Amino acid sequence: MKSGGDSTTIDVVAHEGSGTSKGKGPILMVPVKEGKGGMKRGMAIIDLVLRSGAIVSALAAAATMGTSDQNLPFFTQFFQFEASYDDMPSFQFFLIAMSLVAGYLVLSIPFAIVSIVRPHASGPRLLLLILDVVALTLATSAAGAATSIVYLAHNGNASSNWLAICNQFGDFCRNVSGAVVASFVTVVTFMFLILLSALALRKHH
């Protein structure tokens, strides 16, 4: 701005881009919603932790049952007093079933990891849900069959002349009872796994 005599001159500075930017709106950065993805990833991590715990309990049940064997320190010329899991078909079925369940759980770990990496993928979740239901059925049937024999071993049954043997074979009864408890821990864990998978699949719709 210059002043000289009676005249005044005003210098107007033109701002760059004032004419060229007309008609162009500002660029807005829209944040990507990751709420659902984060929730699904969290559920997948919990699934992996529970699945790892189920592996431990299923292996413990199978290993404990497979090593359940006790010989009494006295015997006769014709008899040796021994209690072993393979003397009872229910315990044999228990060992086979829990071994299969443990093997399935180990093989399911990669699918659980895929669910963490790709939380929006429904294929691995659906496959795990179906196979978990099958494994739950197998584990429940094995636990139930073994529980009935353990009950008879502790209490006997006078109607069928089944004598309680836990007074003599205490170590054997403790082992098979521990195996049954571990199998029920596996069953409860499977229930939570199935519930998590169902909730995660429900979020897709």
Q: Answer yes or no: are the C-beta atoms of 179 and 65 closer than 8 Å.
A: yes
Least Cα distance to 50 among 190, 184, 179 occurs for: 190
Q: Which residue has the higher pLDDT, 21 or 164?
A: 164
Distance separating alpha carbons of residues 91 and 174, to the nearest angstrom = 14
Q: Pick the residue with more confidence: 5 or 176?
A: 176
User: How far is 174 from 154, CA to CA, in rounded Å?
Assistant: 10
Residue 100 sits at the vertex; the CA angle it makes with 97 and 102, to the nearest 5 degrees, is 110
Q: Is the pLDDT of residue 11 over 70?
A: no
pLDDT of residue 200: 84
The pLDDT of residue 69: 76
Residue spans of the domains in the chain: they are: 39-68+106-203
Residue 29: the pLDDT is 47
Task: Tell me what pLDDT residue 186 has.
Answer: 97
> In terms of C-beta density within 10 A (0-12 exposed, 13-18 middle, 19 or more buried), how is residue 6 classed?
exposed
Res. 74: pLDDT tops 90: no
For residues 44 and 12, give the distance between their C-alpha atoms in angstroms, rounded to a whole number: 64
Q: Report the DSSP beta bridge partners of residue 80.
A: 75
Which range is least confidently modeled, 20-34, 101-115, 121-135? 20-34
Angle ∠(144,147,97) on CA atoms, nearest 5: 55
| pLDDT at residue 24 greater than cutoff 70 | no
Among residues 195, 198, 202, 189, which one has the least CA distance to residue 104? 189
Q: Which residue has the higher pLDDT, 61 or 202?
A: 61
DSSP summary character for residue 32: P
Instruction: Please determine, for residue 5, whether its predicted confidence score (pLDDT) is greater than 60.
Output: no
Rounded to two decimals, the pTM is 0.75
The answer for residues whose C-beta is within 8 angstroms of residue 204's C-beta and 6 or more apart is 120, 122
22 pLDDT above the threshold of 70: no
The mean pLDDT of the chain is 80
Residue 84 and residue 65 in contact, taking contact as beta carbons nearer than 8 Å: no
pLDDT tier for residue 180 given thresholds of 50, 70 and 90: very high
Measure the CA–CA gap between 116 and 83, rounded to whole angstroms.
46
Q: Compute φ and ψ for 73, nearest 5 degrees.
A: -70, -5
pLDDT in tens, 82-111: 677 788 889 999 999 999 999 999 999 999
